[in-house]
């Protein structure tokens, strides 16, 4: 992968940047006061900075989003409320809002899938779909295929077995579950692919807003299961996409 410095110097050589502009961009970030957008992120990690929308104003999200679009990036924003999403979609052609996963995605003209490999996204119950959708949009943003397997939790395990042949065709699996969080262990004992477990905050009182599921998943006896934070569909989708680069 071309380094960020080489990229900037090539633009200077080709006359696309002045010496002053190149000097400014070599800092590796753009400072807007309320945010320092990491322009170098894609060159270090292979994917641009992702906008975490929670706690940001509509104006802040819009400003950062437009900056990343101007740079020619695939742009992903997570945890975006409908009001902010509506304004971004109004001002940025091509921005798409997924209301279930609360994500905004913009794909530039040169967007392409990086591989034919596929990530399976499994969720235990319909109530877990928003977290699954955050993972799926992240996977799409990073240039990979995904397949959805919804509402196949352990309370009706025959639903899982009915789709296990298709599940086994996936190269990485993300398993999203709330309540007691048992599904990743069951799936992990049936497949030979990496499993990323995502606990959700779905459940009754003793579920403790996802802590019960988190601890259950961390204590899995199935080999090859790793665990991300509660409701962190983005983290699971990002990690699964990185696994497909190997």
pLDDT in tens, 4-59: 777 777 776 776 777 766 656 666 678 888 999 988 888 888 899 999 999 999 99
Backbone dihedral angles phi then psi of residue 132, each to the nearest 5 degrees: -60, -40
- Residues with Cβ within 8 Å of 200's Cβ and at least 6 positions away in sequence, in order, are 127, 128, 131, 176, 177, 178, 210, 213, 230, 231
Task: Determine the pLDDT at residue 114.
Answer: 85
- Residues with Cβ within 8 Å of 51's Cβ and at least 6 positions away in sequence, in order, are 61, 64, 65, 68, 75, 76, 77, 78, 80, 104
Task: Determine the pLDDT at residue 31.
Answer: 85
Work out the burial of residue 13: count CB atoms within 10 Å of its CB; fewer than 13 is exposed, 13-18 middle, 19 or more buried. exposed
Mean pLDDT to the nearest integer, 52-77:
95
Task: Determine the pLDDT at residue 22.
Answer: 66
Tens digits of per-residue pLDDT, 104-119? 999 999 898 888 899 9
Task: Determine the pLDDT at residue 38.
Answer: 87
**CA-to-CA separations, 188 to 2, 182, 211, in angstroms, rounded:** 37, 10, 20
- Token output for 65: 């989003």
Task: Determine the pLDDT at residue 226.
Answer: 97
Q: Over pLDDT 90: what percentage of the chain?
A: 77
Task: Determine the pLDDT at residue 56.
Answer: 97
- Residues with Cβ within 8 Å of 246's Cβ and at least 6 positions away in sequence, in order, are none
- Token output for 105: 């995605």
pTM confidence score: 0.90
Q: Over pLDDT 70: what percentage of the chain?
A: 93
- Does an H or E element contain 227, and which? strand 225-227
Total residue length of the chain: 246
Query: How many helices, marked H, and strands, marked E, lie in the chain?
Result: 11, 11
């Amino acid at each position: 992968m071309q380094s960020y410095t080489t990229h900037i110097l090539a633009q200077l050589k080709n006359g696309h940047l002045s010496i002053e502009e190149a000097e400014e961009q070599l800092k590796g970030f753009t400072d807007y006061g309320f945010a320092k957008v990491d322009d170098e992120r894609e060159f270090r990690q292979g994917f641009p900075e992702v906008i975490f929308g929670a706690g940001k104003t509509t104006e802040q999200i819009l400003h950062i989003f437009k900056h990343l679009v101007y740079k020619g990036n695939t742009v992903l924003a997570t945890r975006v409320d409908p009001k902010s999403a509506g304004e971004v979609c109004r001002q940025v052609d091509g921005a798409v809002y997924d209301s279930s996963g609360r994500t905004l995605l913009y794909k530039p003209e040169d967007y392409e899938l990086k591989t034919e490999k596929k990530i399976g996204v499994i969720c235990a119950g319909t109530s877990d779909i928003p977290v699954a959708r955050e993972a799926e949009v992240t996977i799409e943003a990073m240039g990979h295929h995904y397949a959805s397997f919804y509402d196949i939790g352990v309370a009706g395990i025959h639903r899982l077995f009915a789709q296990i042949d298709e599940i086994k065709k996936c190269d990485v699996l993300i398993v999203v579950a709330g309540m007691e969080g048992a599904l990743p262990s069951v799936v992990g004992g049936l497949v030979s692919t990496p499993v990323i477990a995502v606990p959700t905050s779905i459940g009754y009182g003793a579920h403790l807003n996802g802590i019960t599921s988190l601890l259950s998943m961390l204590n899995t006896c199935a080999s090859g299961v790793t665990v991300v934070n509660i409701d962190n569909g983005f983290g699971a989708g990002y990690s699964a996409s990185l696994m497909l680069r190997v």
